[in-house]
A and B are shown apart, each in its own frame.
Chain A
């Protein structure tokens, strides 16, 4: 059964789309990440225009991050000040990314740039996770601890009472900026980047990290949806809602699977999966395509 996507302007198989959402939900539930880095390339493989895939993915993440935010808020495990400071930087990053996407769409380079950035991001994170999961098994002393990444001294020091931390406002703003860029350019929430930075660089209590990450993503993806809708008109709510529905179902399954899987193995699988996607995208960019021409609507 095909469903018509009004903004993408194409019909796609409803079950395939729900399945894709569920798959990403399983990944999200198993590994505790948003799964946008898997969703965006798979949507592009399905024939969804890259700009629509990125923007609709941001819209979808508004829904997925809401349930996470609410769950952690109920437990009091969200650093609100940190979340909003990260969002402040996120707004700037999303704005820059939104305008960047507008320019890339006009020049016809959106697809190549999205793929290139995904290769860099997924390749480095996937490689790091693989390395870490393998070395963790061999040598426990290589494992990073909270606050291991030392930050340089910076002005505008502020106290974050929920985390009992003092740090320069510039640090979370800069991190939020990068996260916003990822959302706007790649449709990636950035939890895989935010969570380790908050733990290892900020030295935050790991209990507060997931909830704060969800809140930041909720705010940043909402802002990104507004920007993409206004600047690029590429948000497809039908696509977003079908993916969201599949994702909500998949997350439940993924969460149950995660309980049965040892942490090291799940990190290894995650690292291998990211590396595989990065290698596939790299092969596509580096291998001479069968069709040398591409078409762009004006």
Chain B
């Protein structure tokens, strides 16, 4: 009898959990983001439905890369690069939006586990905090790491929207959008979407050419400068 009750309860829990997960949906607008020619930045909106209670955290995370953080030191009279630290597998872009500050709704371990918050991004934590702090500071200055200007907007009907700001210098590549629903220090539901930010048109062609055939690219670069120089010489001859 007890066993039957236990399995019924377990079944209910699974059903409740699946119901909870099902209540978090997400879609993105625009469907894709292309950079090329004239690009002064953009906005990315994630929207969907979520449980009316609890908090939401949204993340826009860029492709990972490796970086070297140099610390400048005074050598004789000049300030030049001194010791450095390599940081591997770090997102090139990271933007976070939260209805309430993550530290107040989710403990540090869970934040680290799900890479929520800028301090959770570093694998290396061997006493090199000054370098990781500097990395976050420099990336923030570049506009690559940020907390969104406005928190996620939750409505009474269960719909929500999160607006991410895309700066004009955003790195291209495969991005991940994640939305977490938090209640009582627990992630009760989460959803993940892949998103591509790519160069398009001329910019894409230039990038592919220099990576694929740099000799041909250099001839193209020289030829275009020669053509423009020739046009200039014809239209505006030197005296």
Chain B residues numbered 186-228 whose CB sits less than 8 Å from any CB in chain A:
199, 202-204, 206-207, 210-211, 214-215, 217-222, 224-226, 228
Known: A226-B215, A291-B141. 19 other contacts (CB 8 A): A3-B37, A7-B206, A11-B168, A59-B222, A59-B225, A66-B225, A67-B230, A67-B237, A225-B225, A226-B219, A241-B224, A249-B236, A255-B239, A292-B134, A293-B138, A295-B67, A295-B70, A295-B134, A296-B68
Chain A residues numbered 192-245 whose CB sits less than 8 Å from any CB in chain B:
222, 225-226, 228-230, 233, 235, 237-238, 240-241, 244-245
Contact check, A230 vs B218: say whether CB atoms are below 8 A apart.
yes
> Which one of A66, A116, A294 lies within 8 Å of B69 (CB-CB)?
A294
Chain B residues numbered 36-83 whose CB sits less than 8 Å from any CB in chain A:
36-41, 65-72, 74, 77-81
> Which one of A62, A116, A233, A294 lies within 8 Å of B222 (CB-CB)?
A62
Which residues of B pack against A, CB within 8 Å? 35-41, 65-72, 74, 77-81, 84, 86, 131, 134-135, 137-139, 141, 168-169, 171-172, 199, 202-204, 206-207, 210-211, 214-215, 217-222, 224-226, 228-230, 232-233, 236-239
B131 to nearest A CB, angstroms?
7
Q: Which residues of A sit under 8 angstroms from B219, Cβ to Cβ?
A: 226
A15 to nearest B CB, angstroms?
12
A64 to B215, CA, bound (A): 22
Which residues of A pack against B, CB within 8 Å? 1-4, 6-7, 9-11, 14, 59-60, 62-68, 70-71, 107-109, 112, 116, 222, 225-226, 228-230, 233, 235, 237-238, 240-241, 244-245, 248-249, 251-252, 255, 285-289, 291-298
> What are 27 contact pairs spanning A and B, CB under 8 A?
A2-B41, A3-B37, A4-B39, A9-B172, A11-B39, A60-B225, A63-B228, A66-B226, A70-B230, A107-B81, A109-B81, A112-B81, A233-B211, A235-B210, A235-B221, A237-B206, A237-B221, A241-B224, A248-B228, A248-B229, A249-B236, A255-B239, A286-B77, A291-B137, A293-B134, A293-B138, A294-B69
A244 to B172, CA, bound (A): 27
Q: Which residues of B sit under 8 angstroms from A2, Cβ to Cβ?
A: 38-41, 168
Contact check, A229 vs B218: say whether CB atoms are below 8 A apart.
yes
Contact check, B207 vs A63: say whether CB atoms are below 8 A apart.
no
Q: A11-B39, A288-B74 are in contact. Are A70 and B224 (CB under 8 A)?
A: no
Contact check, A240 vs B72: say whether CB atoms are below 8 A apart.
no
Contact check, A293 vs B169: say whether CB atoms are below 8 A apart.
no
A233 to B199, CA, bound (A): 17
Q: Which residues of A sit under 8 angstroms from B172, Cβ to Cβ?
A: 9
Contact check, B68 vs A238: say whether CB atoms are below 8 A apart.
no
Q: Which residues of B sit under 8 angstroms from A249, Cβ to Cβ?
A: 236
Contact check, B203 vs A293: say whether CB atoms are below 8 A apart.
no
